[in-house]
Structure 1
Amino acid sequence: MRIAQRRAGVAVAAAALAAVGLTACSSSSSGSTAAGSGGSGGASGQAAIAAALQKKSAITVWAWAPQVKDIVAAFEKKYPNVTVNLVNAGTATTEYTKLQNAVKAGSGAPDVAQIEYYALPQFALSGALANLQDYGLSSLKGDYSDAVWGSVDINNQLVGLPQDTGPMALFYNKKVFDKYQLKVPATWADYVADAQKLHTANPSAYLTNDVGDPGFVTSMIWDAGGKPFSVSGTTNVTMNLQDDGSKKFADTWNQLIKGGLLSPISSWSNQWYTGLGNGTIASLITGAWMPGNLESGVPTGSGDWRVAPMPTWTAGAAAATAENGGSSDTVLKQSKNPLVAAGFLQFMNDGPGATIFANEGGFPSQNSILSSASFQNAAPAYFGGQQINQVLSAAANSVLPGWSYLPFQVYANSIFPDSVGQAYAKKSDLNAALKTWQDSSAQYGTQQGFTVSSKRRHTDHAAAPACRCHIRHLGVWPTV
């Protein structure tokens, strides 16, 4: 969804974020069962959910996706004894701050909350979310790709169900590409060459815009095969924003930044929409949720735009991509009606609600919808009749598995402009900026009670390869 592409540099309330660290060491043990959950077995869990949905009850759902309103209506029609109070508590950090405050207070949380994948570990590892294995929902694993399921399976607990996803693709303006004789790039080296060719031919035009966005940068590192963050248990975190994928992205993007080849226009601004419409921004590297945003926000571009797979980092390499955006839906441990809440999640994301979501413009996460003929064969006029979902569903099946976000990613994203954002503004080295972002984020994580190991490449030090590198801020000596 579009919300995941917005800049995440909004400061989060200090008290709310502090609660993350304070609760990190007291997470509930794996496999705990909420009251009345009906046990961990799939059959008993499903039977308990079915019985609960027939009783008079009410749940509160915090969600911002516009499709949820119609999903709620369909759910209440099927289960007339259940009342769903739908609340838009804000998007991104606005909702997360309220949610974290409720978790810290021990009351005031909804039964169900929509949470983006990047923020999910913050609430999962602090023990705020119910383990949906206790309600038999782990049986739904086969309905999703491994990468998508991995986003909601955290520390061996199923903490949510996937709602929408954002497998990345290249959206490009064919009219501009044809005018300047640009080839759709097969590799990122081709992409850099296209950027130089276009901007040289027309100094007012750029291949894309980018002023520094944490969600985009981490997605591109993911796409490059990087795994800079890992979490073991609930408190042990390893960071390495100089791993091979991080370096691969930074070294490539440095060419665009230092060469002045990126439009200095912020995404989702009026200027951005204008640039997409008049061709001065000729492509976007973004999630599969983008088509509806282009159709509604850039009507003058109808017929001009197309979709292509992500370029590869090595010529001839197999297709691979990453997620950019997307949300899950979770059941809070504070819920007084966890069975009903779990039933609503299943209806919304693995039942009729998933179809409603896709029909109303959301990019689905369910394999059955992604592979359906109606989805695959859609040929929107906006994209010149191209069957774009064939490209996008292929991207969904090419997302690299094994990615992890930090359990304090919301905070890390909020300080991104102070380091990596400055590299964009000053046209300086991304690698150095990523190291600074890593140090600042790691320092915060340590202050909040996490055990953070922060790795560096030996080329950053004068020591011999066999050394053990002291990590600034942290006082730890990991083997590297």
Structure 2
Amino acid sequence: MSHRRNLTVRGSLAAGVAAALLASCGLSDAAEGGPTTITFWSWTSGSQEAVDRFNATHDDIHVVFEQVPAGTGGGYSKMYNAVRAGKSPDVVTVEYPQVPAFVTHNVVQPITDYGAGELRDVLPEWAWNQVALGGDVYALPYNIAPQVFLYRADLFEEYGLDLPTTWEEFRDTAEQLRAERPDTVLATLGNTDAALLAGLAWQAGANWFDTGGGSWEVNATDEASLSVARYWDDMVADDLVNAEPLFAEKHIADLQQGRSLGMIAAPWMLGNLSRFVPELAGSWAAAPLPTWDGTAAGNYGGSGFAVPEGADHPEEAMEFARWVATSPDAIAAMVPASTAMPANSDLYDIWATEVEAANPYVAGMGVPAVATAAAESVPPDWEWGPDMTDGFARLMDEMTGSMGRPGGLEDALHRWEDDIVDQLRLRGFDVTT
């Protein structure tokens, strides 16, 4: 039976959000006759290319790009430490799951007064909700990752497989394939990917965290989440999918040799395919993710631009962020290095054209059309917890130790929820059950 626990932050989340103060702009280099120099920290592909194009087309602002380790691989720690030391960059990349932690720890400042709201109408509602907390906006979405199903179109045709549109059909197709070709599975499920499991629960209508009542409410064991866990537990137990780390050596070999025909993916993963299995160009296609009872997709990644507390030039930082989030020129600059999908719906068409023109591997797969439809169907109410860097690490540990055992994922979610409640209590949250 599912259960809910209320988590009340001492002082409340709203109070923590309100405590984040706007930093002063500081002295501009432009006052001395030159452009204002701002610093941008990120690890995402295409960042350097975007900065180069911005600098080539703007005279009043000059962006200095510093590549930092991936967020959970040390980049976020570097950002936290810089703010605490009074050496903040002007703008940083923050993935959506980490935004609440950056807010509650006063690492980033509200950008509401810098025109962030101007883009609300061109962003999916769910993407806007990832960055709008406690009445303010704390990041500007610039890429999203709606889930799609990538599959070997050539082998589907050769084997006479119909494309599944529901998860029930997905299992039926997997059983058909396994019976006819015992060495082949329909797809590979990342057995260490906490973000993937979260996206699948999101698609099913779950909401692991909720602050709508003014306090944290945690529920990773609702019926939607447990139904997803049971489904994949059974698929793994019946040997209908491979459970292994995506794009590790075994998975790459399975793809190369046609032992795995598909994967739950997002547009950013196309770069992985082209890098690890370039010989399979022209073999892939994209389809909507199978659903439970409709057309919903989950989200599987994405990030926004945030302005740290203490940034010297927040206005100029936001001008750069808005340019990346709204300019077709920015898309054209970034797509040769990144297939990530823009959050701005006004850029979907230009992204579709540019990403296929710049990446021959992607051309003909149908990803832009499928991803655009998926982006419009993601449930809007999903929220992340107050420390998902730690939360994802703990969920990954639970998944790694449980997947493949009877009821493993279901048990993992129960243990993870209990662990998250305990950890939040230890970190100063009032917990009621």
Pick the TM interval, shorter chain. 0.7 to 0.9
Measured after TM superposition, the shift of residue 328 of structure 1 is 1.0
Residues 306 and 386 in structure 1, CA contact (< 8 A), matched pair in contact too: yes
Partner of 2:399: 420
- 1:353 counterpart letter in structure 2: A
Partner of 1:343: 319
Partner of 1:320: 296
Structure 1: runs of 5+ lacking an equivalent: 1-19, 38-48, 453-475
Residues 115 and 328 in structure 1, CA contact (< 8 A), matched pair in contact too: yes
Partner of 2:112: 133
Partner of 2:276: 297
Q: Show CA shifts across 1:172-205 (max 9, x none).
A: 1122223333211111011122222323333332
Within 5 Å, give how 1:83-122 maps onto structure 2. Answer: 83-93=62-72, 94-103=74-83, 105-122=84-101
Q: Give the Cα separation in 2 of the matches to 1:346 and 1:132.
A: 11
Q: Give the secondary structure class of the aligned counterpart of 2:177.
A: helix
Q: Give the Cα separation in 1 of the matches to 2:17 and 2:351.
A: 43
Measured after TM superposition, the shift of residue 152 of structure 1 is 1.6
- 2:116 counterpart letter in structure 1: L
Measured after TM superposition, the shift of residue 55 of structure 1 is 5.7
Q: In 2 relative to 1, CA 275–21 (structure 1 residues): closer, same or farther, beyond 3 Å?
A: farther
Partner of 1:440: 419
Q: Show CA shifts across 1:413-441 (max 9, x none).
A: 11123323222043433222201011111
Measured after TM superposition, the shift of residue 23 of structure 1 is 12
Matched, 1:34 2:23: yes
Matched, 1:144 2:120: no
Worse-matched range after superposition: 182-191 or 350-359: 350-359
Q: In 2 relative to 1, CA 413–425 (structure 1 residues): closer, same or farther, beyond 3 Å?
A: same
Matched, 1:228 2:208: yes
2:305 to 316, 324, 329: 329
Q: Give the Cα separation in 2 of the matches to 1:359 and 1:21.
A: 47
Q: Give the Cα separation in 1 of the matches to 2:52 and 2:213.
A: 39
Within 5 Å, give how 1:120-269 maps onto structure 2. Answer: 120-210=99-189, 211-231=191-211, 236-269=215-248
Measured after TM superposition, the shift of residue 129 of structure 1 is 1.1
Worse-matched range after superposition: 220-229 or 170-179: 170-179
Q: Give the Cα separation in 2 of the matches to 1:389 and 1:441.
A: 36
Q: Give the secondary structure class of the aligned counterpart of 2:285.
A: strand
Q: In 2 relative to 1, CA 408–301 (structure 1 residues): closer, same or farther, beyond 3 Å?
A: same
Q: In 2 relative to 1, CA 216–180 (structure 1 residues): closer, same or farther, beyond 3 Å?
A: same
Q: Give the Cα separation in 2 of the matches to 1:123 and 1:129.
A: 6
State the percentage of identical aligned residues: 25
Q: In 2 relative to 1, CA 245–237 (structure 1 residues): closer, same or farther, beyond 3 Å?
A: same
Q: In 2 relative to 1, CA 296–420 (structure 1 residues): closer, same or farther, beyond 3 Å?
A: closer
Worse-matched range after superposition: 244-253 or 383-392: 383-392
Worse-matched range after superposition: 128-137 or 53-62: 53-62
Measured after TM superposition, the shift of residue 386 of structure 1 is 4.5
Partner of 2:4: none
- Larger relative CO (CA 8 A, sep 6+): 1 or 2? 2
Q: In 2 relative to 1, CA 230–28 (structure 1 residues): closer, same or farther, beyond 3 Å?
A: closer
Measured after TM superposition, the shift of residue 290 of structure 1 is 2.5
Q: Show CA shifts across 1:24-57 (max 9, x none).
A: 79735178443249xxxxxxxxxxx9x9998643
Q: Give the Cα separation in 2 of the matches to 1:195 and 1:322.
A: 21
What is the aligned residue count?
419
Residues 212 and 420 in structure 1, CA contact (< 8 A), matched pair in contact too: yes
Partner of 2:5: none
Q: Give the Cα separation in 1 of the matches to 2:45 and 2:397.
A: 33
Residues 169 and 307 in structure 1, CA contact (< 8 A), matched pair in contact too: yes
Measured after TM superposition, the shift of residue 85 of structure 1 is 2.0
- 2:320 counterpart letter in structure 1: F
Measured after TM superposition, the shift of residue 239 of structure 1 is 1.0
Q: Give the secondary structure class of the aligned counterpart of 1:27.
A: helix
Q: Give the secondary structure class of the aligned counterpart of 1:426.
A: coil
